[in-house]
Structure 1
Amino acid sequence: MGSGGDGLKALLCGKGGCGKSTLTALIARSLSDRGCKVLVIDNDESNFGLHRQLGLELPDDLLNFMGGKKDLIGKMMEAFPKGEKLTLFDQKWEIPTIPQGYVSRKDNLSLMAVGKIHEFGEGCACPMGALAKQLIQNIDLGDDDFVLVDTEAGIEHFGRGVEEGCDVLFMVVDPSYESIRLSEKISELAAKAGKQLYYILNRAEGAGREILCCGISEDRIISTVPIHESIFKAGLMGDEFLTSVPEVDVIADFLIELRSK
């Protein structure tokens, strides 16, 4: 079911603070340890820590490859009133051919950052959404390749159509009322987008897991990830995640199996 070859593109979403970035990094590490080549696309304009969790340098914003936010907004303003399709790439990229400077690499792991908010008053993140959508569609994957997309909090990425180029969606659900309510909306949006949606329960144990499962179909829950002290500490210190997490390995195995279908 993968996009381009037999690879697979997966997107993680959820409310702010639910653990999307942490789980993205852990899943990427688990897939990499299994010999898979993994490209992580950082599509959260306010997250400045994912690269440290992966043990990588933060690459330059891909937005700058496109001439910067101002130029991209100009292209969007020119295309949309005419009803023209905005086209940002003139050729497909494979993971090894991503332009240097806009990707960080180590072993089987690669990282791209769509764009970050750097300055006060610089404007909205709309150009990042448009660029992320086309970037995901533009990546061609080999047999053992995976793309993991870490999104900003909430559901704006659905409005921008970022999910269009992905094969499967994961919602990270934490034990909160807001997460339960958001899961209902994301389920609705995923269905309208024609995408498979699965759930990862994070920091949900005991009674918390029971309450969450009341509103989420059990057969759509891939894994329940408890609090791991070593991961919590590494995240707090901005250190690379080096510890294997069995509950995350389950997610990596699921993705590998899904890729082969």
Structure 2
Amino acid sequence: MKALLCGKGGSGKSTLTALIARSLSDRGCNVLVIDNDESNFGLHRQIGLDLPDDLLNFLGGKKKLVEKMMEAFPKGERPTIFEHKWEIQTIPEGYVSKKGNISLMAVGKIHEFGEGCACPMGVLAKQLIQNIDLGEDDFILVDTEAGIEHFGRGVEEGCDVLFMVVDPSYESIRLSEKISKLADNAGKQLYYILNRAEGASREILSCGVPEERVISTVPIHESIFKAGLLGYEFQASVPEVGMIADFLIGHKSK
């Protein structure tokens, strides 16, 4: 099962990705987290792992990938990035960090001023997700950058299910409408996670998205907030996130 989390900036995508990974791991699953946010440098700490080398460097860097893209573009082809399929266990050493049954990859980060756009990272992420074969107890969680640019790059193509994280903001509710249409156009199942939703905000958010598509409503957890603020590994188990893990396991068995 390959699941992608999306939403506006600051909605809690990375936090929930880390927590879902932990919940799946606690249930005996093997989890690969793909960090597809070129500006996020905190997800690995929430999982308790070192940040691995950018996968872009495995291919010779962004410049080399751009060259492949330019060679393929006039022919109407997509650049050939991977020569053979990977499994979670066969991802090249140095480009994955592991702890127990959780693994982490980073597609690429913006490291230098003026280094260019992130489009090559989108191409790489799209093909990476499609290139990994999963075993019976394997899951992939993709943490995306804020907004909807990844839809334009087609990153969702290789995913089985999409989660939109909706936080208590007008922008998030409006964005959910756009993402719903994009998911329909992509032929993907979209579900909602209401994050930091309590009291009146929970009622407003519940009215802003289809009720039957909400799989969990996650309140504010002070210990999680504090750990994220300090850059510590998440230790607490969150029952509302466990519901998401159970949903994924059940969805995969259908």
TM over 0.5: yes
Per the alignment, residue 194 of structure 2 pairs with 201
Cα distance in 1 between the residues matched to 2:69 and 2:239: 44
Structure 1 residues 191-223: Cα deviation after superposition (integer angstroms, max 9, x where no partner):
000000000000011111111122211110000
Question: Is 2:181 aligned against 1:188?
Answer: yes
Question: Within the alignment, does 1:119 sit opposite 2:76 as a pair?
Answer: no
1:162 is the counterpart of 2:155: yes
Q: SS in structure 2 opposite 1:116? A: coil
Q: Runs of 4 or more off by more than 2 Å in structure 1?
A: none
Q: How does 1:68-217 map to 2 (within 5 A)?
A: 68-217=61-210
Determine the C-alpha separation between the residues in 1 that align with 2:162 and 2:133: 18
Match of 2:231 in 1: 238
> Which residue of 5, 10, 32 maps to 1:39?
32
Structure 2 counterpart of 1:248: 241
CA distance in 2, matches of 1:107, 1:213: 36
Corresponding residue of 1:11? 4
Q: How many residues align structurally?
A: 254
What one-letter code is carried by the residue in structure 1 that aligns with 2:70? Answer: M
2:193–2:215 Cα contact (<8 Å) kept: yes
SS at match of 1:47: coil
Q: Encode CA deviations 1:19-54: one digit per residue, 9 max, x unaligned.
A: 000000000000001100000000000000100000
Question: Which amino acid in 2 is paired with 1:29?
Answer: R
SS of the equivalent of 2:111 reads: coil
Unaligned ranges ≥5, structure 2: none
- TM-aligned CA deviation for residue 77 of structure 1: 1.0
Instruction: State the secondary structure of the residue aligned to 2:193.
Output: strand
Aligned partners of 2:87 and 2:134 also within 8 Å: yes
Mark the runs of 5 or more structure 1 residues left unpaired by the alignment: 1-7
Shift of 1:86: 1.5
Residue number in structure 2 paired with 1:4: none
Contact 2:30-2:102 within 8 A present in 1 as well: yes
Deviation per residue, 1:73-104 (Å, 9 max, x gap): 11111111221222100100000000000000
Q: Is residue 2:51 matched to residue 1:58? A: yes
Aligned match of 2:213: 220
Q: TM-score, normalised by structure 2?
A: 0.99
**Matched residue type, 1:19:** G
| Separation (CA, whole Å) in 2 of partners of 1:177 and 1:239 | 30
SS at match of 2:247: helix
The whole-number CA distance in structure 1 between the counterparts of 2:202 and 2:86 is: 41
**Cα deviation code 1:205-244 (max 9, x no counterpart):** 1111111122211110000101100000100110000100
The CA distance in 2 between the partners of 1:67 and 1:126, in whole Å, is 16
CA–CA separation in structure 2 for the residues paired with 1:84 and 1:20: 33
Instruction: Give % identity.
Output: 84
Mapped partners of 1:236, 1:214: distance in 2: 30
Rounded to whole Å, the distance in 1 between the matches of 2:12 and 2:6 is: 9
Distance 1:227 1:235 in 2: 12
Distance 2:55 2:74 in 1: 25
